[in-house]
A and B are shown apart, each in its own frame.
Chain A
Amino acid sequence: MTERPDTRLRDWLDETIGQIPEAAKGTQQVMSQIEKTPQVGRWLPFPLLQRKAKASTPTTDHTAHFQPSPIPATNGHSPNAPGRTQSMLSPVKAITAGALVFTIGGMLLIAQPFDQQASAPQAEAETEAPTWVTGKVAYASSCTSPSQEVDGDVRHAWGYQCSPQRWTSSDQRLSGAVSYRWNEDVYKVDESFISVNTAAAYLRNDDGGWACSSSNLLEGSGLYPHWVTGETLTCVGEGGHEGLSALVVIDQGDPSHPLVGLIFSGGFPPVPEPPAAD
């Protein structure tokens, strides 16, 4: 049946839709709620990046404003635009500069001991360099719910598990299958339920793994809660990723679940000391 759409099912689904409400009425109701629904901008983690993004996508007005003024052609000749169509260096200067760079570079190379020439210390430094990561999370196809225990006004639900989630990111080290688990305590506050959860994401890939954790505040509970905030996971590298840490932020409110993060060497900065008692 999955080979192609089933016409009997399609006809039945189509027939049972019934009377369709007026689009104009529905639209009116949507528009009446637009006021209190702010638009969310393109998701970039820092204002600096947002400013860059805006600057790199000029609006129509900007384009018109920054159009270069035409160069008037005089005496029937095409105008020359120095610096664009001609080299700023004369051929003699260019050859001299090239020879100078080649000579100095060669001398530096010869001056280096041979055993150092063979090694590539820079390559090692590059693998340990902090790396900015972007990507997305594909939720797991199945989850298991835990048994629950009510303790007065609190409901404890420990042992949720959704796997395999899949993290796909711009850095292979932070891509792979993830077992996402959490425990939650659910509190009833003003006739609604608020969950406090502690979550863990265990990522495994060919080179190693990551153990990530987060604490979160959610409206509702269980498998379909509403995230009050994005999820910030602190991750520690394991296996081939040992010695590395990562901070990963997932926008759980966005249906495409984008993630950004930074992979870096070493650990997280320490918690600041409490203020000295007076």
Chain B
Amino acid sequence: MVLAQQGDRQAFESLTLAHYTRLYRVAKSILRDRHTAEDATQQALLDIWRYIRRLRDPGKFNGWSYRLLVHACYAEAKRGAPKVGEVEPLSEDIVSTADEYRAVVDRDQLERAFRRMSLDHRTVIVLRHLLGMTPEEVADVLGVPRQTVYSRLRRAEASLQTALEADARLPATSAHRQEVVR
């Protein structure tokens, strides 16, 4: 880390290799699109290179890198919706039992509900539930007050619940399943 801060490219290459997957997982979870997530991850890593000298405490690298990643995700999302055909629908072919079908439908409902949420809400959900961050840590990453995180989480979880309930009342057709809402 210190070497990368001094401009050592080999050191930064090792740093990038070590953290690429971690950052991509978060970007993909927020953006729901593989190509956009890859772009956001790469942009975040370039921003890390650009600003790494300003990081005073190397122990805070992970949180700091998530902050840059979230910014990159916002920028990528703003640049445009994913191209048609890049959605990854769930396959019905592999479903054999009623329980498995139910599980597929559940996951599909979650996907649609999640895509309907704002980027702010998706981000807090991912940081809180995928990474297991505390609301304080989420606030630190997003640079917003802790109360804002609490209120965003509450609203995000409520809207997810509402969308799931609304979705459950609709027939789970294949066409419906592939709908994309940003």
Contacts and interface: CB of A to CB of B under 8 A. Distances in A.
Given A2-B153, A9-B129, A39 B7 contact: yes
B42 A29 contact: yes
Given A12-B107, A141-B144, A254-B54, A2 B29 contact: no
Given A20-B21, A141-B145, A40 B51 contact: yes
Nearest to B74: A224
Nearest to B70: A255
A257 B143 contact: yes
Contacts of A14: 130
B24 A21 contact: yes
Contact of A39 (B49, B78, B130): B49
Interface centre among A2, A15, A21 (most CB of B within 10 A): A2
Given A29-B42, A39-B49, A41-B53, A16 B107 contact: yes
Interface string A238-249: 000000000000
Interface string B135-175: 10000000111001011111001000000000000000000
Given A13-B126, A31-B13, A255 B68 contact: yes
B180 interface: no
A39 B7 CA distance: 7
A34 interface: yes
A189 B49 CA distance: 30
A15 B126 CA distance: 13
Interface residues of A, number: 43
A222 to B, nearest CB: 9
Contacts of A38: 50
Contacts, number: 125
Contacts of A257: 143
Main secondary structure of the interface of A (DSSP, over half): loop
Contact of B51 (A10, A17, A254): A254
A27 B48 CA distance: 13
Nearest to B126: A13
B53 A255 contact: no
Q: How large is the interface on B (under 10, 10 to 19, 20 to 34, 35 or more residues)?
A: 35 or more
B124 to A, nearest CB: 9
Interface string A164-178: 001000000000000
Contacts of B157: 1-2
Nearest to A141: B148
B71 A20 contact: no
B49 A26 contact: no
A24 interface: yes
Contacts of B143: 138-139, 255-257
B16 A27 contact: yes
A17 B111 CA distance: 11
A224 B70 CA distance: 12
Contacts of B75: 224, 226
A2 B135 contact: yes
Contacts of B41: 26
B116 interface: no
A268 interface: no
Contact of B29 (A17, A24, A255): A17
B88 A18 contact: yes
A132 interface: no
Contacts of B88: 18
For the complex of A and B, list the 3 residue pairs with the smallest distance between their C-beta atoms, beginning with the closest: A141-B148, A23-B20, A9-B129
Interface of A: 1-2, 5-6, 9-10, 12-21, 23-24, 26-27, 29-31, 33-34, 37-43, 138-139, 141, 166, 220, 224, 226, 254-257
Given A10-B132, A20-B21, 4 more contacts: A13-B130, A43-B54, A254-B54, A256-B67
